[in-house]
Amino acid sequence: MSVLLEFAIFPTDKGDSVSKQVSQVIELIRESGISYQLTAMGTLIETDALPEALALVNRCYDLLAEDSERVYTTITIDIQKNKHNRLKTKVEAIENKIGKVNK
């Protein structure tokens, strides 16, 4: 099974720039060993099961909640059975049709 979860998470009480807090979240994700891709508007992760993906999002929330009164989160999930490595293969499918794309 492949669970693709895209999410954005950040505190709303830290001013205009939250790169410090988002950097801490990305460090947590990187250290988790879960496959991820950072984008300008959010982060994609891929796990084998939904509870694993949601647990990582919860850990990210807990990290931000330690020092924030309000945390904003958006989540989009795509689950497909009998598939793996879709963070890579979904992009490759497009590149096979039109050539390299910006990542």
Q: Going by C-beta distance under 8 Å and a sequence separation of 6 or more, which residues neighbour residue 17? A: none
Question: Which is more confident, 41 or 103?
Answer: 41
Distance in angstroms (rounded) separating the CA atoms of residues 103 and 101: 6
Q: Is the pLDDT at 1 greater than 90, yes or no?
A: yes
CATH number for position 67: 3.30.70.930
Q: Total domain count for the chain? A: 1
In a domain, 38, yes or no: yes
Q: Is the pLDDT at 19 greater than 90, yes or no?
A: yes
Q: Which domain holds residue 21?
A: 2-98
What is the model's pTM?
A: 0.94
In a domain, 77, yes or no: yes
Q: How confident is the model at residue 103 (pLDDT cuts 50, 70, 90)?
A: confident
Helices and strands (H and E) in the chain: how many: 3, 4
62-87 pLDDT, tens per residue? 999 999 999 999 999 999 999 999 99
